[in-house]
Amino acid sequence: MATISTDTIITEVGNRLRDPNNFAHPRSNVLDILSRVQRCLSIGLRLKVAAVAFQPTAQRCLYQTTEIAADVGRVIAVRDSGRDLFEIQHTALAENNDEWLRLEGPQPEVFSSIGRDLLVIAPFQRISPPELSIVYTTQTAALVDDAANFPVIPDDAIPLLMDVTEAIFLLRGRIFTPESALPELLSRIEQGLTASIIEQDVRHGKS
């Protein structure tokens, strides 16, 4: 969780936009965009994850992510006690076994996301499947404009949060004159996102 409060961030964004009293951009609008940008960063960069106990159904491999929890962004891990299930691409399901939909086994071994809404956990158990732990990135809740309310993403993501929010409000104000902050801001956002994605990929052993 960030240590900078939401109301401080809103004030800072207002200052950057040369709108310290929020005449042009009401605080409620800035708050809404901050909440939405935080959600994008949280899901894209895995900044806020949650784990929930999930009881699979006997004789079933295919699930909707809404069955897991209401705030699922993307499933990133499935665990059976201390054992991580292997994640595979959905195209590999049929390559491994073309009857994956009704595959039965003593314990679940793999999981696969099909888009954002479907999750395969295979093989299924005929009776009493074990309770699993599902780890996912969360659709973060809307922020509150209050000194006691803090973004749920870490401090090092706050500059990116503010940059994207500022860019969106410069766009709203159509401030594109040559001296506009927007070109520099867009370049910084691209660099920030690229660096964050590379960092995430390295952390998860993808490059």
Element (DSSP H or E) covering residue 30: helix 27-44
Q: How far apart are CA 200 and CA 129, in angstroms?
A: 33
Q: How far apart are CA 74 and CA 104, in angstroms?
A: 25
Q: How far is the CB of 17 from other proteins (least distance, A)?
A: 14
Say whether residue 200 binds other proteins (CB under 8 A).
Answer: yes
Which parts of 143-162 interact with other proteins (CB under 8 A)? none
Give the pairing type, strands 72-80 and 83-84.
antiparallel
Q: How far apart are CA 37 and CA 28, in angstroms?
A: 14
Q: Number of residues interacting with other proteins: please give it, by CB under 8 A.
A: 56
Binding mask 54-93 for other proteins (x = CB under 8 A): ---xxxx-xxx--x-----xx-x-------------x--x
Say whether residue 190 binds other proteins (CB under 8 A).
Answer: yes
List the end-to-end C-alpha distance of the chain, in Å, as a whole number: 27
Q: How far is the CB of 28 from other proteins (least distance, A)?
A: 10
Beta-carbon contacts of 30 under 8 Å, excluding residues fewer than 6 positions away, are 10, 13, 14, 22, 165, 169
Per CB under 8 A, which region of 8-16, 42-50, 126-134, 145-153 contacts other proteins? 42-50
Residues that bind other proteins (CB under 8 A): 29, 32-33, 36-37, 39-46, 57-60, 62-64, 67, 73-74, 76, 90, 93-94, 98-103, 114-118, 139, 164, 167-168, 171-172, 174, 176, 182, 186, 189-190, 193, 197, 200-201, 204, 206
